[in-house]
């Protein structure tokens, strides 16, 4: 079995568990492709545990049976970007705080290789948003959300939204979030947007601090194309794609649509969306 391992470099409390995991992979004869930043971090902390690592890279030019994300939800998003469009199944191991995207806790890490080899999991296909912007330089896909926000704190912006070539709304607000079902429990939830089952074929539009009570979160089919344009007093606005921010000129349009590939999330048996909501949000 070949694993691609990505992780946060803030793992001081979990170094022994990570080292045991890597040593287990070595004993099993499994091989590991590891992200360069994590490798350098572990090289100083537990160099003996890296014997299973056969390749170190920070680019998506690799293949693997599974990718393992060690960290919180932000780490999972970065792991998905590292994997790219290969649809390698990603296992989220939560060493962060809330962890909606994690399939298991760090206390279950030692048993992960055997469970993967035994097929003790299910695959959950998560949709992404593809972002089309003139001269955009970054990874143009969002697993959680795309946001358009004001670049200065003093004034709101107007986000003109169209859907499939038809005018939809003029959002006068501090910004607008377009979230996937996966991202519905992230920034979208914090501004009062709905929580959506991950398998639902929809996107959610949620204004940030709307200046009109009639501006409400809206759920649309993920087959829709959304065209967004901004107006405001400031000459720029901020486009953020899963936390990766770019400042654009006010006259720069943005088009959003469903990406042609998915992120394949590994859900270990015994973990499901309902349990995650109940446990993370303390519903009972």
- Residue 51 contacts residue 43 (beta carbons within 8 Å): no
Residue pair 103/75 in contact (Cβ under 8 Å)? The answer is no
Would you say 262 and 125 are in contact if contact means Cβ atoms under 8 Å apart? Answer: yes
* Alpha carbons 222 and 216: distance in angstroms, whole number: 18
Q: Which residue has the tokens 């806790």?
A: 105
* 3-class SS string, 241-255: ECCEEEEEECCCCEE
Query: What is the C-alpha separation between 279 and 100, in angstroms, rounded?
Result: 10
Q: Catalytic residue among 13, 63, 73, 275, which?
A: 73
Is there a catalytic annotation at residue 73? yes
Strands (E), the chain: 2-7, 31-35, 53-57, 66-71, 90-94, 104-105, 121-126, 129-132, 141-142, 145-150, 157-163, 166-173, 175-179, 202-208, 218-221, 226-232, 236-241, 244-249, 254-258, 263-268
Tell me how crowded residue 245 is: count the other CB atoms within 10 A of its CB: 12
Active site residues: 73
């Amino acid at each position: 079995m070949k694993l691609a391992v990505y992780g946060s470099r803030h793992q001081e409390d979990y170094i022994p568990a990570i080292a045991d995991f890597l040593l287990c992979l070595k004993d099993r004869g499994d091989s590991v492709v590891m992200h360069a930043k994590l490798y350098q971090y572990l090289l100083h902390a537990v160099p003996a545990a890296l014997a299973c690592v056969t390749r170190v890279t920070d680019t998506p030019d690799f293949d693997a049976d599974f990718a393992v994300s060690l960290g919180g939800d932000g780490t999972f998003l970065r792991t998905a970007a590292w994997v790219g469009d290969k649809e390698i199944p990603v296992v989220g191991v939560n060493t962060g705080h809330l962890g909606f995207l994690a399939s298991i806790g760090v206390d279950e890490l030692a048993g992960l290789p055997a469970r993967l080899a035994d097929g003790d999991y299910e695959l959950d296909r998560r949709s992404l948003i593809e972002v089309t912007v003139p001269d955009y330089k970054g990874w143009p896909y969002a697993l959680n959300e795309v946001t358009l926000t004001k670049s200065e704190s003093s004034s709101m912006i107007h986000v003109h939204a169209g859907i499939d070539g038809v005018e939809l709304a003029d959002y006068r607000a501090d910004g607008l979030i377009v979230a996937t079902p996966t991202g519905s429990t992230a920034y979208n939830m914090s501004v009062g947007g709905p929580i959506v089952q991950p398998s639902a074929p929809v996107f959610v539009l949620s204004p940030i601090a709307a200046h009109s009570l009639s501006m409400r979160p809206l759920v649309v089919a993920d087959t829709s194309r959304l065209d967004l344009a901004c107006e405001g007093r400031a000459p720029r606005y901020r486009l953020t794609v899963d936390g990766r921010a770019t400042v654009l000129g006010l006259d720069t349009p943005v088009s959003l649509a469903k990406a042609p590939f998915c992120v394949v999330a590994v859900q270990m048996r015994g973990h499901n969306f309902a349990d995650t909501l109940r446990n993370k949000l303390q519903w009972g």
